[in-house]
Structure 1
């Protein structure tokens, strides 16, 4: 039977909590200050601790020092309205959740219903780390590079808590997959995970989508509609592109975070919700605050635990791992047995992937679609070059009167230079075979250039092997 320790200097609060907890078949121990709490900890290690932050002889967070970090004890802190910031700080230190006085007993029941058996969640996370070492997977995420190992460590720490998470990363880095992984490793995993793209909803409809509306509340509202906060009750709500949310709605979102209450459009009746928020943006959130795109107070509430997702170009051989996983999915879906030829593998590692994982997945699908039906190899299709930020030196000037042969020579050599000497990539861009490119270089009598190109290819291969 699970055991709960309740630490609060108010006897009415202690007795009310004990009565609710006893209904769930849990045993309880009561303490009015830190001294009594430490005595109870010696007598019996609890599975859950409810502790007030303000105690006569110190702060409830001081109990963290008396708890074995490997014991799996869940800590829920209790605070007054004026000290919610202290509760957020406690979450960063490892608290699982927090309650605001006057305590809502329905919220207590919701917290208890989410609590796993001691150590269950930590054991599952440990198992996932074992899978990572074997397969390069962590939950729904894939990759074994040092940059991703750091992300996995952060998710391991924050997932079992109630802390809000802010995911920051370029478009296509997998922020929604990271959010789903946090949810699946959290105490809310048996409840809903809902994703909302704040930039994809009309500003006129976003409040209704978030909080719902009553029938007849506006033209076209022919029925009652439950919003995301109501449907995600008990679970996780992922707000993608949070900086695109209208500022006036951010005020209402902040109120939900502070009180756990909201109102459907067209009514004054408050509805209670218990939702964990994970926000994401591909912008610098602090710059968004400066530009007035994101409220400072909301930013602090959402940014309890920030996680930065690395771009694909910083993940080394994760590119190969991801590409192979995407190809295996396509093979399973279409009953094929395709593999990447060497030329494609070389391109995968030499390309900077401005569109990150999303661009890589699209490329693998194109290569699979364009491949011949009677071949087990994917097609060698050209990579799409980003035109948003052209690099310097990507154009050559050919004066009027230049012979076609000379223009051809300049174009080939310039393309080879832009590709860093990687001839396979240069041949692909030029639309010629690798053999033709070699022959042209020999024709130009440029054996030195050819040798330099070969050396460049070799050095890049060695460099990639050491990633």
Structure 2
């Protein structure tokens, strides 16, 4: 069998060697680094547990017979500590009962002394692979739960051509990226496209909406927690920084983070290390950060709403997404895509009349692509014929021969549109936000900005 060294995988495999025999420890310190391991040694169970309080390991080679805390008792403490490391038992006294007991306590495998170095390396490699696969499976479950579709970037406008060229330029780097743009412009789609074009494409791509959690929950989601860290923490939980190892983490709506969470995030980005909530062990971070916001973060920095040092840490490379009204020539292409996407199986997608298409192109789309997608889906479902005519369009998008409200500013157009939608929903803001394709927080912000009375 060909030996696959730890160095042939991404990253360094961290091994903790626990043995009271000094020659064994010296042998491991000399030989294992050649196979790609970062070796830490402990001469007793007590010393091993002390190391585990401050460091994270991938594999632990644990001798059973030691003075003080023996290997079996140390194994119990190791499993109670919440470490994700795999444990390989080493013993000079083969004992089937002890091996079975160790396996029940969560050991991955066991070896007897004397051992062949190649055999030891093989067992340690398989143990490290098992840990890596467990982490990848956790990431996969999170990705499946998020159900993020493959990115499809649609458009032939100069604005879209510039955006696609920007993605190609910045994707190969490891730099943090800040994506800014109005709600509904496709910030998460662009982030996924950057990830898929990067060297991390085979790693996880995970998203967290920073506005969707209170601080304690957000901290636990990002950094994880140890068992017993707070009420309800009945087991160890890896945070997204750990789960997304080797991949990309999108911090959506990062501008909504509280000052306290901004400080904690900055520390992790600066040190590339974290401690889970309630824990003392240091975990290394290997993830590319993409942040997204619909706020003007530079303005937030000037007004004290966002930390300047965190802003510069996130904004190594900046991408600003165009609004839909800035790329009107892409609207017919997007409409055709959404008609095909939401058509009923076995039926033809509906067509759009010339007058209806012109009206949809002229409409300012304050909710951007998300609002357009929602509108086309409703038209596909509710229009009785095979073609969508002007009369089938929602009242707010129906402007035959130009806007019925006369020449007004874009801001006034958006204000009037918000009033129409709120009137249509009887003042129900949650329903209005869904029709507009924006979140409730954005709608409330716009209502406040335009001084719209409930």
* TM, length-normalised to structure 1: 0.53
Call closer, same or farther: CA 1:355–1:23 in 2, change over 3 Å.
same
Provide the rounded CA distance (Å) in 2 between the counterparts of 1:312 and 1:415: 18
Q: Is 1:270 the counterpart of 2:278 in the alignment?
A: no
Provide the rounded CA distance (Å) in 1 between the counterparts of 2:287 and 2:395: 40
SS of the residue aligned with 1:266? coil
Equivalent residue, structure 2, for 1:376: 386
**Residue range with higher mean Cα deviation, 315-324 or 219-228:** 219-228
Provide the rounded CA distance (Å) in 2 between the counterparts of 1:328 and 1:21: 56
Counterpart pick for 1:173 among 185, 190, 193: 185
The answer to whether the Cα contact below 8 Å between 1:165 and 1:278 also exists between their aligned partners in 2 is yes
The answer to whether the Cα contact below 8 Å between 1:239 and 1:279 also exists between their aligned partners in 2 is yes
1:237 CA displacement: 0.4
Call closer, same or farther: CA 1:213–1:371 in 2, change over 3 Å.
same
Call closer, same or farther: CA 1:332–1:370 in 2, change over 3 Å.
closer
The answer to whether the Cα contact below 8 Å between 2:362 and 2:402 also exists between their aligned partners in 1 is no
Provide the rounded CA distance (Å) in 1 between the counterparts of 2:266 and 2:188: 22
Provide the rounded CA distance (Å) in 2 between the counterparts of 1:190 and 1:248: 33
Deviations 1:94-113 (A, max 9, x none): xxxxxxxxxxxxxxxxxxxx
Call closer, same or farther: CA 1:346–1:159 in 2, change over 3 Å.
same
For structure 1, which runs of at least 5 residues remain unmatched after alignment? Answer: 1-18, 25-137, 387-411, 421-428, 430-467
Q: Is 1:286 the counterpart of 2:303 in the alignment?
A: no
Call closer, same or farther: CA 1:318–1:418 in 2, change over 3 Å.
same
Map 1:384-423 to 2 at 5 A.
385=396, 416=404, 418=406
SS of the residue aligned with 2:182? coil
Counterpart pick for 2:341 among 329, 338, 341: 329
1:287 CA displacement: 0.8
The answer to whether the Cα contact below 8 Å between 1:140 and 1:180 also exists between their aligned partners in 2 is no
SS of the residue aligned with 2:322? coil
Call closer, same or farther: CA 1:240–1:414 in 2, change over 3 Å.
closer
1:414 CA displacement: 12
1:171 CA displacement: 0.6
SS of the residue aligned with 2:349? coil
Equivalent residue, structure 2, for 1:338: 350
SS of the residue aligned with 1:140? coil
Provide the rounded CA distance (Å) in 2 between the counterparts of 1:361 and 1:350: 16
Provide the rounded CA distance (Å) in 1 between the counterparts of 2:337 and 2:184: 16
1:238 CA displacement: 0.4
Q: RMSD over aligned Cα, in angstroms?
A: 2.9
Provide the rounded CA distance (Å) in 2 between the counterparts of 1:216 and 1:295: 32
* TM, length-normalised to structure 2: 0.54
SS of the residue aligned with 1:368? helix
Call closer, same or farther: CA 1:333–1:229 in 2, change over 3 Å.
farther
Counterpart pick for 2:316 among 280, 304, 308: 304
Deviations 1:358-387 (A, max 9, x none): 010011011111111xx322364344649x
1:416 CA displacement: 3.7
1:308 CA displacement: 0.7
Q: Is 1:207 the counterpart of 2:195 in the alignment?
A: no
Q: Is 1:235 the counterpart of 2:223 in the alignment?
A: no
Provide the rounded CA distance (Å) in 2 between the counterparts of 1:304 and 1:255: 16
Provide the rounded CA distance (Å) in 1 between the counterparts of 2:335 and 2:34: 52
Counterpart pick for 1:253 among 255, 260, 265: 265
The answer to whether the Cα contact below 8 Å between 1:140 and 1:178 also exists between their aligned partners in 2 is no
Provide the rounded CA distance (Å) in 1 between the counterparts of 2:266 and 2:162: 30
Equivalent residue, structure 2, for 1:160: 172
Provide the rounded CA distance (Å) in 2 between the counterparts of 1:163 and 1:230: 18
For structure 2, which runs of at least 5 residues remain unmatched after alignment? Answer: 1-30, 37-149, 409-416, 418-454
Call closer, same or farther: CA 1:240–1:415 in 2, change over 3 Å.
closer
Provide the rounded CA distance (Å) in 2 between the counterparts of 1:172 and 1:199: 16
SS of the residue aligned with 1:204? helix
Give the aligned length.
Answer: 264
Task: Kindly indicate whether structure 1 or structure 2 has the higher relative contact order, using CA contacts under 8 Å at least 6 residues apart.
Answer: 2
The answer to whether the Cα contact below 8 Å between 2:156 and 2:330 also exists between their aligned partners in 1 is yes
Provide the rounded CA distance (Å) in 2 between the counterparts of 1:324 and 1:199: 33
Deviations 1:17-48 (A, max 9, x none): xx999979xxxxxxxxxxxxxxxxxxxxxxxx
SS of the residue aligned with 1:199? helix
SS of the residue aligned with 1:256? helix
